[in-house]
Chains A and B, each alone.
Chain A
Amino acid sequence: MTSSGTPSAAGRFPAGRRAFPHRDLVGIAQLERHEILYLLEEAEQWVSLNRQSAKHTDNLAGLTIINAFFENSTRTLLSFEIAGKRLGADVVNMHAAQSSVKKGETLIDTAMTLNAMHADAIVIRHGSSGAVELIASKVDCPVLNAGDGQHEHPTQALLDALALRHALRERGQNADDFTGLTVTICGDILHSRVARSNVLCLQALGASVRLCAPPALMPQGIDAMGVEVFHDFDAALSGTDVAMMLRLQNERMQGQFIPSAREYHHLYGLTAKRLAARAPDALVMHPGPMNRGVEIDSDVADMLDRSIITRQVEMGVAIRMACLDVLTRKARGVAGWADGEWV
């Protein structure tokens, strides 16, 4: 593990390239390692700001950000809204019931409508994989993916990486990345966009990723993504540095995937006993919302020394501020970010 005292993002991306040459943030799959690191570094300033009593800047003053959520969300929507407001932007939330946009051209028409209102950034959550890329191809402003179907949820993976980095630093591990670290993601992998984005992000930062789920909830071909696949949670947990628990996405399940919640808990629930036996020092993460007593026990979720679940939420605001800031720099004419300028 390499360590760096004062992070200097500018020194780590290839010469002659923009620090973040993307208009949109549709997925981790489109990002290079140095671009992920750049966003994490950019977020640090917002972590500090968010811990002050006065949490406001005017960086994005005058800009309009539309949060277009075609699928229900509480925490992600709130997090994006707070992020935009703390940057000084005018934030508008659009709740569109999934049913009203499923037919015909309506989704594209909605995108065109938002575009015609001169949004400066659009944050989208949608129930169909690929919907965010489709919208991004039709609008003229940066588009941020706040979760599309079972595809990607890039800001979640970024905030997880930032929360993990902070937790490791507190333990005296000051590496920039996660080389040598083993992360076990356990739960409903099949329906999880969080899992997909996290696999890509953690691997880009050097971690080894284990995935654990019953066969019916493990997508076929996922081993081609370079992960280790487990069905036995105890084996997956043994010696892991991080246990990331996912909830069962019952709303996405068609048919029965597991016999019952208590049986699931028996096989895959993260209990204090299991943790002590298999990975006594592991950090515990969960993207929320948690189903306490199903995939994670309350005493584990609330462990002060190792559960970083609330810190993940904290880092979410900072990461989203960083993403909104970076993606709007070109439109705001920030030096070095216009066409033809190189950082």
Chain B
Amino acid sequence: MKQQAPLTITGGRLVLPDGVTSGALRLVDGRIEALGDVSPQDGDEVVDAAGQLVAPGLVDLGVFAVDKPAFHFGGITRAALMPDKSPILDLPSRVQYVAYSGKPDFWVHPLAAATRGLEGRELAELALMQQAGARGVATGRGWIADSGVMLRLLQYAAMLGLVVVSHAEDAGITGNAVASAGEMATRLGLPSAPAEAEALAVARDIALAEMSGARLHFRQVTTRAAVDLVRAAKARGANVTAGVTPAHFMLSDLATAEFRTFARLSPPLRCEDDRQAVVAAIGDGTIDVIASGHDPRGPEDKRLPFADAEPGMAGAETLLAMVLTLVRDGVISMERAFDLTARTPAQLLGVAAGELAEGYEADIALIDPEKPWIVDSRKMEASAGNTPFDRQPTQGRVTALFKGGVKVG
């Protein structure tokens, strides 16, 4: 649905890249026409934000399902979909279908499978998938073990100008592990692997990215050693960015106690020291993106013994609230919260969104950042309630959402 009449949002606190300021926003034909000191014109529809935050709709980089009710609840207007679908997004036709699957009120940006069948052996038809709507390339839930394949992938993606989203865990070390090696996994008797598997993969991928000149994005960097590598690479000027999901800055492997399968994630939860390193890396800018990793899983995947359960969490609804905890804790500023969840992911995907700026898509979220609520796995908008934050009191809710200037829901 196209925006019919111009819309002016007044009385809000605009979250701009350089700070939060009072102002208004005028949306015309699905785009931001003007912002700041603007007044509604005759015939405009007017929404009074009443002092709430007026922020860009979130751009969720790396989700595993298109789950509109959950995304809308969480203020997410665009998501980059991982290729680990059934069938795998390794053909242009599949990419094209997915690219249109959310419209009009939600935009899906498919990430093309880097290799056929995500098997890590033969490159998929990346250029054709780009033409079909792919906004990046991803290795899926797994790592490409063959360094030769990874190098050729990065070179090819660099030529096409596509970001490569990598899953950084050395598969030879992780094997069948479902937990990070350490006291918790040992007490629970869970198959585990050293967390250093991540740093090994990150080191190799950075080296290959620097050789190829590709834009490399680690979907999740979750250990102290790996964030150190990313920090050093950035200092050298490497074209590398890193992401993380709230689980890895909110929780440590203690959350897997009593074999809680909602805390079975990939990569697995790490030790407390790694969690603190991730928080610090968000604070100092080493981590660029926070995404939900939204992966709703029903009881058939989760009500199983820990090692038999599927990894993943339903994260779309809690993404914003968890990021706002970092603002309240003084780790990041309010504007940076939206750099992490909207502006930077939009830039990586090459879409004119994720930012309040003239000419950008009118994807707008009105947010009450203090509104208290309690996460309840039984009452989620998502298609499954597998959240590791169940029953956690939190703050911050989206009160209204606009996609292309049109109110959602």
Contact = CB atoms under 8 A, between A and B. Distances in A.
Identify the interface centre among A102, A151, A254: most chain B CB within 10 Å of its CB.
A151
Given A107-B304, A108-B303, A220 B175 contact: no
Nearest to A101: B308
A235 interface: no
Contacts of B299: 105
A221 B186 contact: yes
A312 interface: no
A105 B175 contact: no
Nearest to B271: A221
A134 B304 contact: yes
A128 B305 contact: yes
B259 interface: yes
A130 B306 contact: yes
A51 to B, nearest CB: 35
Nearest to B186: A219
Contacts of A150: 189-191
Contacts of A152: 189
Interface stretch (B96-104, B106-114, B177-185, B347-355): B177-185
**Interface extent on A, as a size class?**
20 to 34
B187 A255 contact: no
28 contacts: A105-B299, A107-B305, A126-B305, A128-B306, A129-B189, A129-B259, A129-B305, A129-B306, A130-B258, A130-B305, A130-B307, A131-B308, A134-B303, A134-B305, A149-B190, A149-B305, A149-B307, A196-B189, A219-B181, A219-B186, A220-B185, A220-B192, A221-B181, A221-B184, A224-B183, A225-B183, A254-B175, A254-B176
A224 B194 CA distance: 16
Contacts of A196: 186-187, 189
Given A130-B190, A219-B186, A219-B192, 20 more contacts: A29-B187, A104-B300, A107-B305, A107-B308, A108-B303, A128-B307, A129-B190, A129-B307, A130-B258, A131-B308, A133-B258, A133-B259, A134-B259, A149-B190, A150-B189, A151-B189, A193-B189, A221-B182, A222-B183, A225-B187
B181 A149 contact: no
Nearest to A219: B186
B188 interface: yes
B260 to A, nearest CB: 9
A220 B194 contact: yes
B183 A221 contact: yes
B181 A131 contact: no
A102 B303 contact: no
B259 A130 contact: yes
Interface string B303-324: 1111110000000000000000
Given A129-B188, A129-B190, A224-B183, A105 B303 contact: yes
